[in-house]
Amino acid sequence: MYKVINEFIDLQNGNIHYKVGGIYPKGDYKPTKKRISELSKEHPKYKCRFIEKVEE
């Protein structure tokens, strides 16, 4: 499970809006390891990370 740390719209998942403090992913969507990596690492254009892993 991942927590949203910077607000974003997931263009790869039907333009779903994620707000800070929310859980990623929403619904039945199963993101790929590549997508998780993209959102967990600093984005080259926006200079921030969007999600972080939450220990259950």
Count CB atoms within 10 A of the CB of residue 39: 23
Q: Report the pLDDT value the prediction gives residue 37, as an integer from 0 to 100.
A: 96
Is the confidence at residue 13, as pLDDT, over 90?
no
Q: Report the pLDDT value the prediction gives residue 34, as an integer from 0 to 100.
A: 96
Any residues with CB less than 8 A from the CB of 14 and at least 6 apart, and which? none
Is the confidence at residue 16, as pLDDT, over 90?
yes
Band (14; pLDDT cuts 50, 70, 90): confident
Is the confidence at residue 44, as pLDDT, over 90?
yes
In this structure, which long-range contacts are made by residues 21-26, counting pairs with CB atoms below 8 Å and at least 24 apart in sequence? 24/50, 24/51
Band (56; pLDDT cuts 50, 70, 90): confident
Using CA atoms, how far residue 41 sits from 27, 28, 29, 51, 54, in Å, is: 23, 23, 20, 8, 15
